[in-house]
Structure 1
Amino acid sequence: MEVRADTPQASAPTGAADVRSSSPGIARRLRAMTVIATLGGLLFGYDTGVISGALPFMTRPVTEGGLGLNPVTEGIVASSLVLGAAFGAVFGGRLSDRYGRKRAILGLALLFFTGALGTGLAPDTPTMVTFRFLLGLAVGGASATVPVFIAELAPAEMRGRLVTQNELMIVIGQLLAYSSNAVLAHTAEDGGIWRWMLALSVIPAVLLWCGMLFVPESPRWLAVHGRLDEAARILARIRDRDALDAELAEIRGRAAADDRETGAGWRNLRTPWIRRLVTLGFALAVLTQLTGVNSIMYFAPTILLDTGLGTQAALTATIANGVVAVLAVSTGMWLLGRVGRRPMLLAGQIGVTVSLVLIAVCFMALPASSLRSYLVLAFMLTFLLFMQGCVATVFWLMLSEIFPMRLRGFAMGTAVFGTWIANFTVTLVFPPLMHAIGGAVFLIFGAVNLATFVYYVRTVPETGGRSMEALEAHFRRRFAA
């Protein structure tokens, strides 16, 4: 498969600098809707990050406030959310296609609330695993639904800025988890403090549900389901008058064409251009995880302990990871207004690959010492700058843009399923690989990322500067055969 950039129209990137092209009132309205919807991203980040601080307390005996977890049950508790997220992405995408983006997110908010409360009150390990899996369904559903919902609300010139707000909220959620864990662990002696760590996410879950009551449905979803008058009324609230008619005509034209075609599902993959786009999205999802990002986000203290760093310093570095991730995504959002998606992704992939090789060299060439510890930490943070600032930011944005309107939820869910399965695989194999070959494992990640760079050069298109309908028409023409 080869998907090349169409340079004449792809040269106008979208992002923070483009927000000024919409009137101030409409821009504020869209930003408010985005903040509400991306509370789902905040919950995604918090619920994936909070377990790192809760597990040490959960391993304590029941008489000391813990759950008495052993290494096996500890791994099951940690991975149950990731496994649930894989299935949540698939079913969440399908449900959002059938019942609407807004209703899907409202349902996810209830699932987030139930999962957070259930894990905070869990009396035993089976109950904990059950509610962690439910939380995973919510996390996976949010990762497949929220970016699509925002992309369908946003005009082309604001889409980059607004969709990447979700990635920013994910890393803010992780930072909040790391920080609240550290504060709670430092200020409370109670062995059951892990319950408060896990239950805190009920607050953003309630805010998400309440806020979504005031956010409109996606006008594109309404158009696909024949509710064109409602779509027009909603679009009139979030577009300048001089841009409204042209975009509404595009949406109506695309909806009319979709009426002549079959609904969303696996049978659509028989169509060559759809199959190529879904394959590209799935590849992006899997390869983004094979960067090794979660080996660093989940196991940073373990990695640094292996370099010879002390325990307290290693735990503090986890917070540094969260801070750098937030700064990197903020920088990436700024860059999207000045640089196209494709150049950012390729530059990020180069930076990630070089950082991984340098981490491996530090492990293999230097003896255990403070110098090796701080060099590894520095290159880990460099890795996160390129990963979160370029690769992850562009990845979520492009996934929300490239799929056709009538099966956007299904295709997004399928791709994000690949994200979570790859995440689960990396999380599972990294500890034994690290134990067996040490820092040389980062050379393996480096080789995978070099191959990924070559693949991206050959396949990844530029998607900035076009409406979603224009992108769909382009892909239909180019890959119809």
Structure 2
Amino acid sequence: MSSPSAPGAATTAPATREQRFVARVAIVATMGALAFGYDTGVISGALPFMSAPVAHHGLGLTPLTEGIVTSALVFGAAFGSLAAGTLADRFGRRVTLIGLSLVFLLGVLGTALAPSVTVMAVMRFVLGLAVGGASATVPVFIAEMAGPSRRARLVSQNELMIVGGQLAAYVLNALLAHYSTSPHVWRTMLAIAALPAVLLGIGMLFVPASPRWLASRKRLPEARAVLRKIRSSERQVEAEMAEMTRLNAAEHHQAGWAAVFATPWIRKLLWIGIGLGFMAQFTGVNAFMYFTPIILQSTGLGTGAALTATIGNGVVALLATFIGIWLIGRHGRRPMLLAGLCCVILSQALLGATLLWMPDGVLKSYVALACILFFLLFMQMLIAPVYWLLMSELFPLRLRGVLTGTAVACQWLFNGVVALLFPLALAQFGSATFFVFAAVNVASLAFVAACVPETRGKSLEQLESYLERTLGGSAVHAGPERRALARGA
């Protein structure tokens, strides 16, 4: 079966009206990613003020409650992504995102007004439901709207908006900390997240439903009408309709988890998706995103300087994501992951050595920050965009929502484990924590090399057929097919 041209091949031609429409749809959908990024980044600046005693208008956080408040959003995101996957399969990606915008607003208002640690933790959990739901739904929605030649770059814009939201949080945190004299400045930091939530809800009212979801619900005339808005030729429309119709006709009557348990190749894909979530989170990326000010304060840097230095995290992550979007159109998913993990292992080991053996002082602070920025450069350039792209590509149409939701939910659980334990591990074990991360990443490197398939250069329907053959093939034919899969045939 021949493959379409590789992603990026058509980008030199002027964009058609339909392509511009899809780009606008992607911008609207990624307002959810912008809110996701802001809500995960803002906590790094709010924590030092929330840790102030209640008498000084803080919440009196301890290392334990810091971990609880930080990780509450993450564990909420695990439940949110799991629930959103099921809802997206049942009610559609568009309707699910509209509902998530309302949950975003509720969570933002609840955290900004929280009077106690308990209320804060509960409302951070609610906010996490929306963050997780968006993380599972937005990439799938964009992937199903985009054609194969533009899928990688449009889906990768999701990661761009995530890191853009984090950078906005870091900059606003630093500005508010510097210029505001209000003891409630942390509440303002948290309240700003309402803006992307409102933009998401309003914007999704004006975009169409996913044609692939419509086809999966046997609403073929509506699916064809949407395809005519987002594809440049009737030939493309009819080719995609034929593929979707063929797959729908070939589907088993089983749905949901019954189909997963009954289908070995789908179970393998789910385990690969869960393993990718472990890989992404146990790089330690969110330990840096959440706790960089605390890490830098441990080297002797003041609170204001630490918050300002954290802006570097967002700038590097944003620039790295731009580079990653360019690379992802030219290189396979597997090579990018393998190269990124090698650089992550090196940066973790260097950071651990710096914190362990360098004497305290300004030089140590800057070297530690350089190690963190080196880590983020390769994490955001080579690993994070590929992870979210794979989550939108790997799973078959009839189960895409529930399987993506499950895999992303596990990723959030791993994120929560890191967020909850990192402050305690840093207090208990100090610099050795980063050597542990490096060792875990060596195991992740072996997992990617052995298990992760190459998905570049195929439509979602072609990819589904291909993975079914290669992961579910007979013992006689599986060997060559799997080798071809690993090469990215």
Q: TM-score, normalised by structure 2?
A: 0.92
How far did residue 21 of structure 1 move? 5.7
Q: Which residue of 1 is the match for residue 249 of structure 2? A: 256
Query: 2 CA distance for matches of 1:78 and 1:280?
Result: 27
Alignment of structure 1 residues 143-292 onto 2, 5 Å = 143-241=135-233, 242-258=235-251, 260-265=252-257, 267-292=259-284
Classify the secondary structure of the residue corresponding to 1:229: helix
1:375 equivalent in alignment to 2:370:
no
Gaps of 5+ in 2: 475-489
**Aligned in 2, Cα 1:63/1:367: closer, same or farther, shift over 3 Å?**
closer
**Aligned in 2, Cα 1:84/1:140: closer, same or farther, shift over 3 Å?**
same
1:109, 1:209 within 8 Å by CA — same for their partners in 2? yes
Query: 2 CA distance for matches of 1:463 and 1:236?
Result: 26
1:420 equivalent in alignment to 2:402:
no
Q: Which moved more, 1:210-219 or 1:363-372?
A: 363-372
How far did residue 208 of structure 1 move? 0.7
1:60, 1:191 within 8 Å by CA — same for their partners in 2? no
Classify the secondary structure of the residue corresponding to 1:339: coil
Classify the secondary structure of the residue corresponding to 1:265: helix
Q: Which residue of 2 is the match for residue 3 of structure 1? A: none
How far did residue 266 of structure 1 move? 5.2
Q: What is the aligned-residue RMSD (CA, Å)?
A: 2.0
Give the total of aligned pairs: 472
Query: 1 CA distance for matches of 2:296 and 2:106?
Result: 35
Q: Which residue of 2 is the match for residue 57 of structure 1? A: 49
1:43 equivalent in alignment to 2:35:
yes
1:440 equivalent in alignment to 2:432:
yes
**Aligned in 2, Cα 1:21/1:266: closer, same or farther, shift over 3 Å?**
farther
Query: 1 CA distance for matches of 2:376 and 2:338?
Result: 15
1:26, 1:239 within 8 Å by CA — same for their partners in 2? yes
Letter in 1 for 2:245: R
Gaps of 5+ in 1: 1-5
Classify the secondary structure of the residue corresponding to 2:381: helix
Query: 2 CA distance for matches of 1:401 and 1:22?
Result: 26
Query: 1 CA distance for matches of 2:366 and 2:53?
Result: 35
Q: Which moved more, 1:356-365 or 1:306-315?
A: 306-315
Query: 1 CA distance for matches of 2:131 and 2:296?
Result: 28
1:331 equivalent in alignment to 2:323:
yes
1:51, 1:78 within 8 Å by CA — same for their partners in 2? yes
How far did residue 65 of structure 1 move? 3.5
Classify the secondary structure of the residue corresponding to 1:66: coil
Q: Which moved more, 1:97-106 or 1:192-201?
A: 192-201
How far did residue 44 of structure 1 move? 0.5
1:354 equivalent in alignment to 2:346:
yes
1:164, 1:396 within 8 Å by CA — same for their partners in 2? yes
**Cα deviation 1:177-220 (Å, max 9, x = unaligned):** 11112222222211122222111121211111110011110000
Query: 1 CA distance for matches of 2:89 and 2:255?
Result: 10
Classify the secondary structure of the residue corresponding to 1:462: coil
Q: Which residue of 2 is the match for residue 366 of structure 1? A: 358
1:89, 1:142 within 8 Å by CA — same for their partners in 2? yes
2:94, 2:209 within 8 Å by CA — same for their partners in 1? yes
Paired-residue identity, %? 52
Letter in 2 for 1:149: F
**Aligned in 2, Cα 1:304/1:125: closer, same or farther, shift over 3 Å?**
closer
Q: Which residue of 1 is the match for residue 479 of structure 2? A: none
**Cα deviation 1:341-365 (Å, max 9, x = unaligned):** 2211111111111111222222334
Query: 2 CA distance for matches of 1:285 and 1:460?
Result: 12
2:177, 2:304 within 8 Å by CA — same for their partners in 1? no
Letter in 2 for 1:76: I
Query: 1 CA distance for matches of 2:300 and 2:43?
Result: 24
